[in-house]
A and B are shown apart, each in its own frame.
Chain A
Amino acid sequence: MNEKQFVCIVCPSGCRLTVWEENGEVKVEGNGCKRGLAHGIGEYTNPMRMLTTTVAIRGGTQPRLPVISSGEIPKEKLSECLAALYGLRFDAPVKCGDVICENICGTGADVVASRSMGRAASKEE
């Protein structure tokens, strides 16, 4: 009986979920709807998160390029993925949606550029 508590974030109701495992089955209490049930089970068994961060970019109009994962990735892999990204270097120009890192840490999700960024015109700005 490994009980966990979550506040559901699917809709503004904010139902307080209690989730536990019983006889190999995951049970949820407190959900107000089906989506909440799915959310509770997901959070208990395999919580997923979007990854958003910035990476260093060379020769761009800004020193940092914001990036985002193409889909949610397992929460437990977040630190590993961030660490992997911080070691990378890219050159401008970049187009929004360009794949920065394919299938990051084997999660199946890509990390893509969150914006387009051109080359810095001159060093004055």
Chain B
Amino acid sequence: MKRVSVDVAVVGAGPAGLAAALEARRSGAKRVLLIERDAELGGILQQCIHDGFGLHRFGRRMSGNQYAQAFIDEVEASGVEVRLGTMALEVTGARVIYACSKSEGMLEIEAGAVILAMGCRERTANQVLICGDRPAGVLTAGAVQRYVNMEGYLPGSRAVILGSGDIGLIMARRMTLEGIEVKAVYEVMPAPGGLTRNIVQCLDEFNIPLHLSTTVTRVNGRKRVESVAVARVDKNLKPIPGTEETVGCDLLVLAVGLIPENELSRGAGVALDPRTKGPVLDDVFMTSVPGVFACGNVAVVFDLVDYVSQSGEIAARGAVDFIAGGLCRQPQYVPVEAGENVNFVVPQRLRHGCAGARLFLRVKKPLREAVLTCESGGRMLMQKSLRHLAPPEMIAFDLAGRIGDAPVAVSIREVTRE
């Protein structure tokens, strides 16, 4: 078995891994290895041909591909070692990675620090308990996106989409432009899951109706999808009997949620946060296993790729610090608590004495005007006014100032004006 020894090993070359590998090199790590199971770099961005990426980072509206290319070009020039077609099978708590490829067989990679950047997978029809037949023509939005944008095939001609998150909305537009009739988008929640911009540009633009508080309960069709049954749901998201309708279609597209892909993390003994489904992280995005870091969608599902890249860079700097011995191996931690109106905050804890951190959070409900506060031990660490907050739009902010030993409570208090 081939044995390789590196300073920093990055698992996954999507936007998180690309940014992490690059930043690790820039921060002085000598041997940085980036492993990617696909044939090319870019991860999920390979299939994101639409624009809207990079507004924060580059000040332009780019496609996912262009955003990825910016990093890919730099990675290729930076001396990062890239191994494509290489799948990580195991990450141990001792920072050893087993990965295999056609050309090298099984690799045993010893790393000074490991950065996990495996992204996420999609929730399936089975997981949302859609009953009925099990025909051809039921696919997740990401799978449709791959077929249409990368392989050049259309998996249906009359589609129904379940889920109004951004991926569902983007695919509604893409399928329409490729000649697939999108009959409607159904959303089980009372509010859309994606950005208003996407509702307007992907649904309204093409007269695709959006039905809120409605879900798909059943698929019909023994060989190929022939129709789906949709029903309105009550406030507990349970289908209301008597409200079922049949909608003819040959393709059911599921955009019903993303799940961080933490199988490797679990194997390494990393503690997971049930709210984010990703690892419990500290201010340098280190997990509960010393020297193992996580960034991007495997840590928490982001919506802006710019933030994904930032998380990769934070993890990379932490990893380089760790190798240099500049990071305490078993630090004392202070929890970050999700307070009023906050669904979750990442990182979930901060090291005593750290000089601040970049934090990412999601609100529980839409808020027109609010104040973000961070309090610790009776002190107000920061306050910030914010407007037009909604769950689909992650909020990022910097918390400056030395962290003491009291928990940090992050809250978003609604401001109501008369």
Residues of chain A at the chain B interface (Cβ within 8 Å): 6-7, 9, 11-14, 50, 52-54, 56, 61-64, 66-68, 82, 96, 114-116, 125
Contact = CB atoms under 8 A, between A and B. Distances in A.
A64 B152 contact: yes
Contacts of A114: 49, 63, 65-66, 69
Contact of B51 (A14, A54, A68, A96): A68
A64 B69 contact: no
Contact of A7 (B49, B66, B72, B200): B200
A66 B196 CA distance: 25
Which range contains the number of B residues in contact with the other chain? 20 to 34
B196 A9 contact: yes
Nearest to B392: A12
B126 to A, nearest CB: 30
B150 interface: yes
Interface of B: 39-40, 42, 49-51, 61-63, 65-66, 68-69, 72-73, 85, 149-152, 177, 195-197, 199-201, 204, 387-388, 390, 393
Given A13-B387, A61-B40, A63-B151, 18 more contacts: A7-B204, A9-B200, A9-B201, A12-B387, A50-B51, A53-B177, A54-B49, A64-B150, A64-B152, A66-B49, A66-B63, A66-B65, A68-B63, A68-B65, A96-B65, A114-B66, A114-B69, A115-B66
Interface residues of A, dominant DSSP? loop
Contact of B63 (A7, A9, A52, A64): A52
Contact of A54 (B69, B152, B195): B152
B148 to A, nearest CB: 8
Given A7-B200, A9-B201, A116 B69 contact: yes
Contacts of B393: 12
Contacts of A6: 200
A66 B69 CA distance: 12
A102 B347 CA distance: 47
A115 B68 contact: yes
Nearest to A11: B388
A52 B164 CA distance: 21
Contacts, number: 75
14 contacts: A9-B196, A13-B387, A14-B388, A53-B177, A54-B49, A54-B152, A62-B40, A63-B150, A66-B65, A66-B149, A68-B66, A96-B65, A114-B66, A125-B39
Given A50-B51, A52-B50, A66-B63, A14 B69 contact: no
A106 to B, nearest CB: 21
Contacts of B387: 12-13
A52 B388 contact: no
A116 B77 CA distance: 15
A83 B317 CA distance: 47
Contacts of B61: 50
A47 to B, nearest CB: 9
B68 A52 contact: no
B197 A9 contact: yes
Contacts of B40: 61-62
Contact of A52 (B49, B152, B390): B49
Contacts of B199: 7
Contacts of B388: 11-14
Contact of B150 (A53, A62, A68): A62
B56 to A, nearest CB: 14
Q: Which 5 A-B pairs have the closest CB atoms?
A: A66-B49, A114-B65, A115-B65, A12-B388, A9-B197
Contacts of B72: 116
A125 B102 CA distance: 11
Contacts of A56: 152
A104 to B, nearest CB: 15
Contacts of B69: 96, 114-116
A125 to B, nearest CB: 5
Contact of B390 (A12, A50, A64): A12
A7 B201 CA distance: 10
A53 B66 CA distance: 13
A14 B390 CA distance: 12
